[in-house]
Amino acid sequence: MAKTTTREYTTVREVAGPLMVVEGVEDVAYGEIVDVLIPDGGTKRGQVLESRKGVAVVQVFEGTSGIDTRSTKVRFTGDIMRMPVSMDMMGRIFDGLGRPIDGGPDIIAEEYLDIAGASINPTARAFPNEFIQTGVSTIDGNNTLVRGQKLPIMSGAGLPHNDLAAQIARQAKVRGTEEPFSVVFAAMGITHEEASFFMRDFERTGALERIVAFINLADDPAIERIITPRMALTAAEYLAYTCDMHILVVLTDMTNYCEALREISAAREEVPGRRGYPGYMYTDLATLYERAGRVRGAKGSITQVPILSMPDDDITHPIPDLTGYITEGQFVLSREMHRRGIYPPVDILPSLSRLMNEGIGSERTREDHSGVSNQLYAGYAEGRDMRDLVAVVGEEALSKRDQLYLKFADRFEKEYVTQGRDEDRTIEQTLDLGWELLTDLPEGELKRIDEKYIKKYHPKYRTG
Amino acid sequence: MSITGRIYKISGPLVVAEDVKGCVMYEVVRVGDIGLMGETIRLDGDRAYIQVYEATEGLKPGELVETTGSPLTADLGPGILTNFYDGIQRPLEMLKEVAGDYITRGLTVPPLNPDTVWDYTVVANEGSSVEPGDVLGTVPETKVITHKVLVPPGVKGNLTKVREGKLHVTDAVATLTKEDGKEVELTMSHRWPVRVPRPYKKKLDPFVPLLTGQRIYDTFFPLAKGGSAAIPGGFGTGKTVSQHQLAKWADSQVVVYVGCGERGNEMTEVLDTFPLLDDPTTGEKLMERSTLIANTSNMPVAAREASVYTGVTLAEFYRDMGYDVAVMADSTSRWAEAMREVSGRLEEMPGEEGYPAYLASRVADYYERSGRVVTLGSGEERLGSVSLVGAVSPPGGDLSEPVSQNTLRVVSVFWALDSTLADRRHFPAINWLRSYSLYLEVLRDWYKKNVSEDFYEVRTRMMVLLQKEAELQEIVQLVGADALPERERLVLEVARMVREDYLQQNAYHEIDSYCSKEKQLMMSKTILAFYDRALKAMDAGVSIAKIETIKVKDEIARMKYVHNAEFPDRYDAMLRAIESQFSALEG
């Protein structure tokens, strides 16, 4: 945009919810950043949401309390929202608007980047296919994560999604290179306790110096949450594409982000879509999630693991629903498994990794990976069906074959799904464990695995 | 004559301009000092409401708005195939060369590369009189497609001069004198407004199937060339993989793939794989017959709205040359949402779930652009077709929502994706009890002639087994499988074979990914032969427990991995194995 000098107005006409209408303005650009100087001396930031001849509608990130229509000054900065970036961000903690809150100095910028980002030209993308070993069997074995993927954890209130996310952040590595991921952590509206859980965990494992954190807590202004993930992703893009680093972005909790989006939409009196969320929520979420990926010729990459708590565990709620349509799969946590004491309670049946097929196989993990994974899926699904059946007809009424599957499902959950919070399994351990369980089934049932891999990896042939 | 006005208001992708009296509906305008491309979608006095195809951040009231006098058009000519466009037909490779890895605003790049030299051969000679649709000349566009340069709609007269040889797409290839004596220079390309269907002489009923190499479609719910189909399904049910499979293996001559508001990485996957895969009909690479349109979810929303029209216009263009064209649009829900977003900004009275009231008519208009037609042109009749396949992404997988419902009202084939099947990794996760095809009857003769006399009987028998299984499953849920009579348990066993060994098809398996119609017939016959022989064995006193453990079952389970060419031998071997193993059981 054309550079314009800063202009100040005291012509606030209306304040409603997070929005403020300023009159008599000139040359206000759509998306321009404003500083609001309130009578008690404080400053707030805002952004132009609608620009009309003489009138600008501004959303104020830090809430509109304290703004009056007489003496509040509105300063239009003539620029869009940019953030200072440099390598010095590593190991630092910022608030939701990117200001340091760890007592350290301000960042001396190498560059000022537009936080909205631009869309990557699809021809410039490199297809993600590098296997990330997280050490969690249900992920590595059955829903493999690859570099440049976006794969959310869909959870519910009270489930251990934070533990799982922290474990992934701690253990994730690309095989062959022992180089760990650097983590960009964006917290939106989570509680102080949750935030300090992550910080403690990062500190405990000595990971703090390879982390950049943006923290907007539950009692921080809700509208700020619109900006927080964009700050985090801009930092991630700088680190990945300029500094050649591999970045894992953890965004938590996307549900709070969407609530903030709805709040603004309601304040603007827009026509609501489903459940009051704005009709453009899909597009808006896409502008965040699609910032994951790899670019041809660039060394770094951005992998996203957003966390969202499904209201009432309902996966058809607009937030998980629209997310699932954009992300490349999902990990779904099950309350029922959590109640039975299984950690991590990943229900593999509704979980999915769309990029798995490209990231596994002989050159990346092991040649039998795909077959073993499919067979475990099929066996577990069948066993779960049997469980429902047993509830009605009793175990005795099952055929021999069905009883085998019933047992298989139990063992699968107890031995394969369940693992310690610090247990870091290699992919070979995971696959061998899978084979171990599959020996309970007759060999003829292993239809999903190529015969030559059965001969090579089935414990029966390996030992004898 | 262009009209210039000023920006009055900016709100997301919607810009209101003032002082533009005389601006025409759906006219393309340049917005702002950097010249963003937009289209007028409402007029109000001297104000025009414009949907802008690029991000509007930084625009200010008072900046310039200029009309172009032309509606949104597509450039039609050689060079479309193997190309990769955004929603308003800007070539993405070229954009990358000009502007780098990120989509930059305000750029215009010609859709057809003006530097490419084509080898143009004259067909219509000097002096001949031509009408719209007549072939002026040909160009070998790719290894498999000969591009016919046609007289554009609305142009008629005598050819007074023709040129031949190495020419650019913008060079004149013929001079035509109209009846009124005016001369027109014709090039290899012309423009066509994307929202207007291209004319044809006559629409015909479809009667040839669009074979896809996918068993569930070809055997059970076939689509006809010139027909339309919808694939609705919640996320993770395999819409995109299904669309990719269709784009890869459908036996149409030209494929237009529209990625409408979907993932960037998926388009990259198409880009990476299509140039490597062989087309089973021609043996050449799939890319040679394909063109891709990608407006990913994070690209501007208004261009997403335009992308499906751009796609179908390109398809109609190749149809007019006499080709069978298939369009895959993934996903039409994103297109509808783009309409909803713009409609919301216009503050129109919303219909159901915030969608505009004109959603139904827009969806119907789109699918009506499919069809098998007699194209324009004098002389021998030329036939071409456009088949449309639209993915639908219903929120929460609930098909009662407006986009699904309006789509189902107009399409003839419904491939219902089912999340319970997807959860059990049964792919393609098409529910065989809910899906339907209205083309079954019109295609009967073709299948009789080209596959087998008894193909429909085979198909029906398998369907009956699946239907019977669904009924029996309800009883099993109450009393357990053991309580069923032996014959019913055999039905369950064979139905399981149909589901697992026939319907499940692995898109990622080198061989199983594409299944020829002959192999489909033999596979179904193998399963039915097993069933018939097992029934006979039961009459002879063999118990179901014995049948369940018979060896040949494993062989049947693996038959899908047998190469199309080797299958006839394997088929005979399996039939013999079925016979001998059952005879052994009978003792």
Contact state of A122 with B301 under an 8 Å Cβ cutoff: no
Per-residue pLDDT tens over the stretch A382-438: 999 889 888 888 888 788 888 999 999 999 999 999 999 999 999 999 999 999 999
What's the order of all strands across the beta sheet hosting B183-187?
Answer: B129-130, B157-162, B172-177, B183-187
**Confidence at residue B440, expressed as pLDDT on a 0 to 100 scale:** 94
The verdict on A350 touching B (C-beta cutoff 8 Å) is yes
User: If contacts are CB pairs under 8 Å, which of residues 33-72 in chain A contact chain B?
Assistant: 49-54
* Residue bearing the bigger pLDDT, A63 or B169: B169
* Mutant choice from A3, A234, A280, A374 vs B, greatest count of B C-beta within 10 A: A280
The verdict on A395 touching B (C-beta cutoff 8 Å) is no
Statement: residue B157 has pLDDT above 70: yes
User: If contacts are CB pairs under 8 Å, which of residues 187-246 in chain A contact chain B?
Assistant: none
Grade residue B548 by pLDDT with cuts at 50, 70 and 90: confident
Cα separation, A54 vs A23, in Å, equals 6
Contact B189, B141 (CB under 8 A): no
* DSSP H or E run through B536: helix B517-539
Averaged pLDDT, A74-101: 92
Cα separation, B299 vs B87, in Å, equals 9
Distance from CA of B112 to the nearest CA of A (A): 17
Residues of A in contact with B83 (CB under 8 A): none
Grade residue A2 by pLDDT with cuts at 50, 70 and 90: very low
The verdict on A88 touching B (C-beta cutoff 8 Å) is no
The verdict on A110 touching B (C-beta cutoff 8 Å) is no
Contact state of B397 with A80 under an 8 Å Cβ cutoff: no
Contact state of B93 with A123 under an 8 Å Cβ cutoff: yes
**B187: Cα separation from own chain's centroid:** 29
3-state secondary structure string, B449-482? HHCCCCHHHHHHHHHHHHHHHHHHHHHHHHHCHH
Distance from CA of A315 to the nearest CA of B (A): 7
* Mutant choice from A143, A275, A283 vs B, greatest count of B C-beta within 10 A: A283
Tokens matching residue A73: 């000054």
Residues of B in contact with A280 (CB under 8 A): 12, 301, 337, 341, 344
**Where do runs of H (alpha helix) occur along A72-155?**
137
The verdict on A445 touching B (C-beta cutoff 8 Å) is no
**Confidence at residue A4, expressed as pLDDT on a 0 to 100 scale:** 55
Q: Which amino acid is located at B210 in the chain?
A: L
Residues of A in contact with B397 (CB under 8 A): 316
Cα separation, B370 vs B363, in Å, equals 12
Distance from CA of A238 to the nearest CA of B (A): 14
Residues of B in contact with A451 (CB under 8 A): 558
What angle (nearest 5°) sits at the alpha carbon of residue A323, between those of residues B54 and B216? 100
Averaged pLDDT, B415-437: 92
Distance from CA of B382 to the nearest CA of A (A): 36
Contact state of B424 with A350 under an 8 Å Cβ cutoff: no
Query: If phi over 0 gives left and psi between -120 and 50 gives alpha, with beta otherwise, what is residue A189?
Result: left
The verdict on A152 touching B (C-beta cutoff 8 Å) is no
Statement: residue A3 has pLDDT above 60: no
Strand-pair category, A33-37 with A73-76:
antiparallel
CB pairs under 8 A between A and B: 215
* Mutant choice from B268, B292, B334, B346 vs A, greatest count of A C-beta within 10 A: B268
Per-residue pLDDT tens over the stretch B194-235: 999 999 999 999 999 999 999 999 999 999 999 999 999 988
Contact B49, B302 (CB under 8 A): no
* Residue bearing the bigger pLDDT, B60 or A207: B60
Closest CA to B121 of B158, B165, B152, B186: B165
Per-residue pLDDT tens over the stretch B251-300: 999 999 999 988 999 889 888 888 898 888 888 999 999 999 999 998 88
Cα separation, A274 vs A255, in Å, equals 15
Averaged pLDDT, B55-59: 89
Strand ranges (E), A79-179: 82-85, 93-95, 111-114, 125-126, 131-133, 145-146, 153-155, 173-174
Mean pLDDT of chain B: 93
Distance from CA of A340 to the nearest CA of B (A): 22
Tokens matching residue B365: 């208009």
Contacts of residue B504, defined as CB under 8 A and 6 or more positions apart, other chains included, come to: B426, B427, B560
Residues of A in contact with B99 (CB under 8 A): 121
Which member of A279, A287, A328 has the closest CB to residue B341? A279
Distance from CA of B174 to the nearest CA of A (A): 36
The verdict on A77 touching B (C-beta cutoff 8 Å) is no
Cα separation, B427 vs B418, in Å, equals 10
Contact B388, B368 (CB under 8 A): no
What angle (nearest 5°) sits at the alpha carbon of residue A341, between those of residues A338 and A346? 45
Cα separation, B85 vs B258, in Å, equals 9
Mean pLDDT of chain A: 91
* DSSP H or E run through B493: helix B486-497
Cα separation, B147 vs B80, in Å, equals 10
Return the bridge partners of B243, or none: none
Contact A349, A308 (CB under 8 A): no
Grade residue B174 by pLDDT with cuts at 50, 70 and 90: very high
3-state secondary structure of B29: strand
Contact state of A273 with B354 under an 8 Å Cβ cutoff: yes
**B293: Cα separation from own chain's centroid:** 11
Contact state of A316 with B353 under an 8 Å Cβ cutoff: no
Averaged pLDDT, B373-382: 93
Which member of A52, A119, A123 has the closest CB to residue B96? A123
Residue B101 burial (10 A CB sphere; 0-12, 13-18, 19+): middle
Cα separation, B356 vs B342, in Å, equals 9
Contact state of B265 with A148 under an 8 Å Cβ cutoff: yes
The verdict on A21 touching B (C-beta cutoff 8 Å) is no
Cα separation, B509 vs A406, in Å, equals 29
**Nearest residue of chain A to residue B423 (CA atoms):** A349
Q: Where do we find the tokens 């970045």?
A: A247
Contact B81, B141 (CB under 8 A): yes
Residues of B in contact with A277 (CB under 8 A): none
Residues of B in contact with A275 (CB under 8 A): none
Contact state of A321 with B478 under an 8 Å Cβ cutoff: no
Residues of A in contact with B92 (CB under 8 A): 121-123
Residues of B in contact with A119 (CB under 8 A): 102-103, 264, 296, 298-299
Cis peptide bond upstream of A344, omega within 30: yes
Statement: residue A457 has pLDDT above 80: yes
Averaged pLDDT, A143-156: 95
Contact B75, B189 (CB under 8 A): yes
Closest CA to A137 of A331, A337, A324, A340: A331
Cα separation, B114 vs B125, in Å, equals 25
Statement: residue A1 has pLDDT above 50: no
Tokens matching residue B312: 């179908």
Q: Which amino acid is located at B100 in the chain?
A: G
Which member of A52, A125, A325 has the closest CB to residue B393? A325
Which member of B11, B58, B477 has the closest CB to residue A1? B58
Contact state of A328 with B265 under an 8 Å Cβ cutoff: yes
**Confidence at residue A178, expressed as pLDDT on a 0 to 100 scale:** 65
Cα separation, B39 vs B193, in Å, equals 12
Contacts of residue A10, defined as CB under 8 A and 6 or more positions apart, other chains included, come to: A70, A71, A72, A73, A74
Cα separation, B407 vs B403, in Å, equals 6
- Stated pTM of the model: 0.92
Cα separation, B185 vs B172, in Å, equals 6
Contact state of A51 with B263 under an 8 Å Cβ cutoff: no
Averaged pLDDT, A183-187: 94
User: If contacts are CB pairs under 8 Å, which of residues 286-305 in chain A contact chain B?
Assistant: 286-287, 290-291, 293, 295-296
**Nearest residue of chain A to residue B350 (CA atoms):** A271
Residues of B in contact with A287 (CB under 8 A): 298
Contact state of B11 with A30 under an 8 Å Cβ cutoff: yes
**Nearest residue of chain B to residue A120 (CA atoms):** B102
